[in-house]
């Protein structure tokens, strides 16, 4: 089973994983369904029995932690290293949330908003797909709490929160589009008066040299925590 089975939209110009599409398929198959969508290609739909009927990527079963590369989603699921650091999420009326596989890593493929005591994020959709993904907001005081989903503000408040917040974060150029580092951890700590939780050491993004302040370095054994960059070799 090779990458070609996931459709022409999948690229493999960089190699953070050996045969990444095959690996994603094997890892995620027990927790959802792979399907071939017209004009999109192969995507993965998480099983509601596994993630819950109200599943929201980058909110359900996890928390936000700070890393040398920006805010990263530390998932409670042991398979969370894949769909929250690789690929992109989007929705369809028929299928709900779907994950489009790709092999470029980021701390989180989301955009950010910040201001007036609130923080918001939105998944970045796959290249060429526009589905009007919705923003998610929490009070800044609840941003770094475990189980962040339990602190989400009502969807009815989103439009008002959009007016109260502004785009924030450095856009880092990726192979396709960008990823966003998010609000500065020092600002989060100042506004909330809380200690910012830190991610475990992680492998740098594909094509980027390690930062001088990074705990890990190229060649270091990758770690498979919720904020890990990639799975151990041989998975």
> How far is residue 21's CA from residue 10's CA, in Å, rounded to a whole number?
8
Between these two residues, 20 and 180, which has the higher pLDDT value? 180
pLDDT-derived band of residue 41, with 50, 70 and 90 as boundaries? confident
Largest pairwise CA distance in the chain:
50
Between these two residues, 109 and 13, which has the higher pLDDT value? 109
Average pLDDT, the chain: 81
Looking at residue 129, what is its pLDDT? 86
pLDDT exceeds cutoff 50 at 213: no
90 in helix, strand or coil?
Answer: strand
> How far is residue 52's CA from residue 187's CA, in Å, rounded to a whole number?
33
Element (H, E) at 64: strand 62-67
Looking at residue 214, what is its pLDDT? 32
Looking at residue 60, what is its pLDDT? 98
């Amino acid at each position: 089973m090779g990458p070609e089975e996931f459709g022409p939209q999948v690229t493999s110009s960089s190699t953070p994983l050996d045969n990444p599409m095959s690996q994603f398929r094997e890892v995620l198959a027990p927790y959802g369904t792979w399907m071939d969508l017209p004009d999109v290609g192969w995507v993965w739909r998480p099983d509601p029995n596994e993630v819950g009927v109200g599943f929201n990527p980058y909110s359900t079963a996890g928390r936000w932690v700070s890393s040398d590369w920006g805010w990263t989603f530390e998932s409670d699921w042991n398979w969370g290293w894949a769909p929250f650091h690789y690929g992109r999420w989007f929705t369809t009326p028929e299928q709900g949330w779907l994950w489009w596989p790709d092999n470029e890593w980021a701390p989180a493929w989301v955009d950010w908003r910040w201001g007036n005591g609130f923080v918001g994020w939105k998944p970045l959709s796959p290249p060429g797909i526009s589905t009007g993904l919705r923003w998610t907001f929490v009070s800044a005081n609840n941003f770094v709490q475990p189980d962040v989903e339990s602190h989400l503000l009502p969807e009815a408040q989103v439009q008002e929160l959009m007016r109260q917040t502004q785009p924030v974060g450095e856009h880092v150029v990726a192979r396709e589009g960008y990823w966003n580092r998010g609000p500065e951890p020092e600002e989060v700590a100042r506004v909330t008066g809380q200690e910012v939780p830190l991610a475990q050491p992680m492998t740098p993004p594909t094509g980027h040299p390690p930062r001088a302040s990074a705990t890990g370095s190229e060649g270091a054994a990758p770690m498979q925590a919720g904020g890990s960059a990639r799975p151990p070799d041989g998975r």
